[in-house]
Structure 1
Amino acid sequence: MPQLPLLSNTVSARVRAHFCLTQAELGRFLGVTPAQVSNVEAGRSVFSEAVQERLFQLRRWLPQEAAPAPEAPAPEPPEAGPLQQRLRRCRHLAAGARYELEEMRRRTQAHAARQQALARLRQVLLTPHDPASPIPPDPAADPAHNRRWLTHLETNTAVAPAPPTAAEVALLEVRLAALEYEAGELEKRLPAPDSVPE
């Protein structure tokens, strides 16, 4: 799966974030280039009325905006001495393992979100309009174009790197637990901060 770029607060960026799309993928659906999507999201340009109508097909399915993710904790300051040096090393390795574990979880979540988004896009774009639906049919809808576009997205998703296996995650969790245990044991054996000579 292509790496998603940082998103702006434009409608197209929110649509891309919700449906896990790149600028190229959304541009293909809208019939514009990735550069045009980028320029609109950067505030340098606007979509034509026809493109905005196509964007509306996806925009109308956006939920309320979610709260931003919390910031990562700040690293602890380094200390001196052989025990402090090993403690720093353990903390460094544990931070790397935590980051890698978070990356694995992010990849797993991104893969699951992409699969859900593809299912939702199939439902939104390929299901015939239900006359009982409160949302009116889209007169600009082109089922053949939508099907080709979704097939392209599904192909991109199928060839993307697979998310980590449960065994890979479990092994990294065990490594992280061992590093955290070692760091805790080292902290118990360190002298109190006010007893360390300057």
Structure 2
Amino acid sequence: MTHRRLSTETPIGAVRRYFGLSQQELAMFLNVGKAIIGHIEAGRRDLTLALRLRLFPLLRHLPAPPLLPPDDEPLPATTPAPEAAPLAFRRKVCLHRAQGLRLELMKLTARAVYASRWQQALPTILADLEAAAALLPPVPEDGDLNASIRRWLPSLARRFKPSHAAQYHLLRLQAEAYETEAAALAELLARA
């Protein structure tokens, strides 16, 4: 009975698997015989420097191997339960930060609501100002007050800018992340 040698995947095998090449196709690319590819892939021969240099244009396109085991791998059964104090403290920090972000979100939401109200009311307000100016005689000491007001009012409708919208969404995502982390910590604390 023969035992196959367990080893990590060779660069040749990784290139073949990633690009879907047969040993014959890779041998043609590297200008070597198919048998050499088989020996290197099986670990019976080492990859020479010359072959590594010819293989480099393909190797550079391979995704980087993961440095750590996957996140979804469970801890061994013998792992002790986590200490509650650091988890509880982190949960408290997350809730505090989320609350602060929610307050900032309330300010941005109010700003957006006020800007929206001004956008909706502005045409009517400007028309009313024009109508009032046509009915009333001009007051010399006021100068062109209505003109100043007509220039100023549109700025109120533009107080919520695209940068504010971006800030709103970033803060919302951060708050949700903190709240999600706090909920996961609460669940972990309940199990511990």
Q: TM-score, normalised by structure 2?
A: 0.42
Higher Cα Rg, which structure? 2
- Going by fraction, where is helix more abundant, 1 or 2? 2
Q: TM-score, normalised by structure 1?
A: 0.41
